[in-house]
C-alpha cells in the first residue's frame, strides 16, 4: 500500500495543486511547539537565543513559538526575527492584532487562507492574545518584545547576508507549492542560516527534496515526539491524492528518520 500510494503521489499528485497562500494559525501544532520549547530549555540559564521565522506570514507561528518557550524558560534572552516576501503580511505581523475568524493577510501577494484565530479557540489563547474593546486580539507585550520583522525573498541567494546564524530557524509550509528546483534552492538558503548546533524546523516541503538536501548538509533528525508532531495537523490529511497531504510514516524507508522528521539539528562535530 505504501508503494502504491507513493506511485500515485509521485506520478499524478506532486505536480498538481501548487497553491501558495499566507495561511497560518496560532498554536497550530502543539507537539511541535512543545518539543521546540523543550529543546530551548536545554540551554544554560540566562542564555541568549536567536530565533528566526522565514516565510513568517502574519506572525502567528513565530509568536506561538516565543510564547511557548518564554512560558517554560522566562530567563532566556531571545532575539527574534520574522521575514516574508509580502509587505502586507509583514505589516500585519508587526501589528500583532487579529480578529477571530477573519484572516489578517488580506492584500498579500497570495491568497489569505483561513483565519489565524478561530472564534471557538479564543478562550484557550487568552494568555497569548489580549482581547481588545473592538473584538480584536493583540499579542501580549511580553511575547512581542525583541521581535523585528522584514520583507525578504527566501529564494534570494543573498538572504543569508541579512541574518546572523540562528539557534532556531523556522521554515515551514511555504516551500511545498514550489517547483522542485526552486524549493531546493530555497532550502539551501535555509541551512546557511542555522548556527552550529542550532535547529532547523522545516515542514510542508516535498520529502524527497528535504531528505536529499539535509542529508548532504549533515543535519541530524530530532526524534523526540516525532510521530506526535507528524500526525498533529488534521489539515494535512488526504495523501496520496492531495499534494499537501502528509505521507504516513514508513519505517521500511532507508532514511525514514530524516524523511519523516520536522526538527533537525546542525551537527558540525
Minimal CA–CA distance to 167: which of 69, 265, 75, 260? Answer: 265
CB-neighbour burial class of residue 256 (10 A; exposed 0-12, middle 13-18, buried 19+): middle
- Which residue is it, cell 509568536? 63
Let me know: does 80 contact 51? Beta carbons within 8 Å: yes
Contact 268, 200 (CB under 8 A): no
pLDDT of residue 269: 58
Q: Cis omega (within 30 of 0) on the bond before 240?
A: yes
Q: Is the dihedral of CA 121, 85, 164, 201 positive or negative?
A: positive
Taking only the tens place, the pLDDT of each residue in 203-248 is: 999 999 999 999 999 999 999 999 999 999 887 889 999 888 899 9
The pLDDT of residue 21 is: 77
Residue-level pLDDT at 267: 84
214 Cβ contact list (under 8 Å, min separation 6): 187, 191, 200, 202, 258, 264
- What long-range pairs does 115-122 form, CB within 8 A, spacing at least 24? 115/25, 116/24, 116/25, 116/26, 116/58, 116/60, 117/25, 117/26, 117/60, 121/26, 121/27
The Cα 215–Cα 189 span in angstroms is 15
In the sheet that holds 166-172, the strands lie side by side as 147-151, 77-84, 48-54, 166-172, 194-203, 263-266, 219-221
H-type alpha helices, 12-54: 30-41
Model-level pTM? Answer: 0.94
Alpha helices in the chain (DSSP H): 2-8, 30-41, 60-72, 87-95, 141-144, 180-191, 207-216, 226-230, 256-259
**Secondary structure in 3-state letters for 100-160:** CCECCCCCCCCECCCCCCCHHHHHHHCCCEEECCCCCEEECHHHHCCEEEEECCCCCCCHH
The C-alpha atoms of residue 268 and residue 28 are separated, in whole angstroms, by 31
What's residue 119's pLDDT?
95
For the chain, which ranges sit under pLDDT 70? 108, 112, 269
Amino acid at each position: 500500500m505504501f508503494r502504491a500510494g507513493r506511485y500515485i503521489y509521485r506520478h499524478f499528485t506532486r505536480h498538481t495543486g501548487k497553491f501558495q497562500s499566507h495561511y497560518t494559525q496560532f498554536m497550530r501544532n502543539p507537539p511541535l511547539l512543545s518539543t521546540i520549547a523543550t529543546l530551548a530549555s536545554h540551554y544554560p540559564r540566562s542564555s541568549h537565543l536567536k530565533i528566526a521565522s522565514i516565510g513568517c506570514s502574519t506572525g502567528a507561528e513565530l509568536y506561538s513559538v516565543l510564547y511557548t518557550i518564554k512560558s517554560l524558560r522566562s530567563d532566556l534572552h531571545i532575539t527574534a526575527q520574522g521575514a516574508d516576501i509580502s509587505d502586507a503580511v509583514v505589516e500585519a505581523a508587526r501589528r500583532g492584532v487579529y480578529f477571530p475568524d477573519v484572516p489578517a493577510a488580506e492584500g498579500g501577494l497570495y491568497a489569505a487562507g483561513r483565519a489565524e484565530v478561530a472564534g471557538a479557540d479564543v478562550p484557550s489563547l487568552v494568555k497569548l492574545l489580549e482581547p481588545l474593546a473592538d473584538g480584536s486580539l493583540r499579542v501580549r507585550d511580553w511575547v512581542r518584545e525583541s521581535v523585528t520583522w522584514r520583507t525578504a525573498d527566501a529564494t534570494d541567494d543573498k538572504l543569508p547576508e541579512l541574518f546572523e546564524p540562528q539557534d532556531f530557524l523556522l521554515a515551514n509550509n511555504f516551500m511545498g507549492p514550489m517547483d522542485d528546483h526552486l524549493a531546493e534552492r530555497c532550502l539551501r538558503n535555509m541551512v546557511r542560516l542555522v548556527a552550529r548546533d542550532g535547529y532547523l524546523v522545516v515542514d510542508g516541503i516535498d520529502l524527497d527534496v528535504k531528505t536529499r538536501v539535509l542529508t548532504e548538509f549533515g543535519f541530524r533528525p530530532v526524534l523526540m515526539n516525532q510521530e506526535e508532531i507528524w500526525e498533529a495537523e488534521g489539515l494535512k490529511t488526504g495523501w496520496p491524492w492531495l499534494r499537501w497531504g502528509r505521507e504516513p510514516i514508513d519505517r521500511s524507508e532507508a532514511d525514514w528518520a530524516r524523511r519523516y522528521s520536522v526538527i533537525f539539528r546542525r551537527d558540525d562535530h
